[in-house]
Amino acid sequence: MKKIHKTRLLLSSILVICLIAISVRLIHRSASSDDHVSDYLGMADSITKIVNDYPGEIGVAVIINNTDTITVNNENIYPMMSVFKTHQALAICNDFDNKGISLDSLMIIQREELDANTWSPMLKEHPEDVISLPVRDLLRYALSQSDNNASNLMFKKLVDVTATDSFMATIIPRSSFKIAYTEEEMSADHDKAYANSTSP
């Protein structure tokens, strides 16, 4: 757990440093078109220098004004691990919105449906045999606490992996990501954890 916390802290620190570097460059940007290009190149160089100072492979993409994009190490494809839960949440919210269903809709969960051997704050906070939670809370568990049981349940009962992958392909270029496996499948075969992947 300490290793995960340190990794998250490191990545958060890198992100903050990159955002500060970008913000400073944008504040000092002039209106000239040549300066505009020069600023973006300068920002890319600054981000490259920052990420090169850290161990591991780090990719960064910054989209400015929905048009200009700065990327560093964008040609690489990175395993998403638990980050795919963000894509899952987007697909569920889109599906519920299209069907006019509220995220306050209750899900009834039998305790025996849950994996006692996976990361699951939800399981610890709800000792009852039958758990009743709104979808909104399942999303919160999955997104903010990376709860594997919440994610697995939503894939099984709400929007499956294939539908999630297909939905994401409508908003992200198909070549830049792939969602193929649930937390349950990755737990059974750790090599599958590297199949869910994305570019920055």
Task: Express each pLDDT in 82-124 by its tens digit.
Answer: 899 999 999 999 999 999 999 999 999 999 999 999 999 999 9
Residues 104 and 36 in one domain: no
Q: Taking residues 21-37, report their average pLDDT.
A: 52
Residues 146 and 95 in one domain: yes
- Predicted pLDDT at 11: 59
**Which structural domain range is residue 162 located in?**
81-198
Residues 71 and 144 in one domain: no
Residues 47 and 21 in one domain: yes
Residues 142 and 182 in one domain: yes
**Number of domains making up the chain:** 2
Of 75, 99, 134, the one marking the end of a domain is 75
Q: Is residue 64 within 8 Å of 26, Cβ to Cβ? A: yes
Q: Which long-range contacts (CB under 8 A, 24 or more apart) does 167-175 make?
A: 167/90, 167/91, 167/94, 167/95, 168/87, 168/90, 168/91, 171/90
Q: With 90 as the cut, is the pLDDT of residue 137 above it?
A: yes
Q: Which residues are catalytic?
A: 82
Question: Which pTM value belongs to this model?
Answer: 0.74
Residues 63 and 124 in one domain: no
- Predicted pLDDT at 107: 96
Classify 87 as helix, strand or coil.
helix
Residues 178 and 86 in one domain: yes
Specify the amino acid at residue 11: L
- Predicted pLDDT at 31: 45
Of 75, 107, 139, the one marking the end of a domain is 75
Q: What is the CATH number of the domain that holds 93?
A: 3.40.710.10
Pair type for strands 78-79 and 197-198: antiparallel
Of 28, 43, 75, the one marking the end of a domain is 75
pLDDT in tens, 42-53: 788 888 888 888
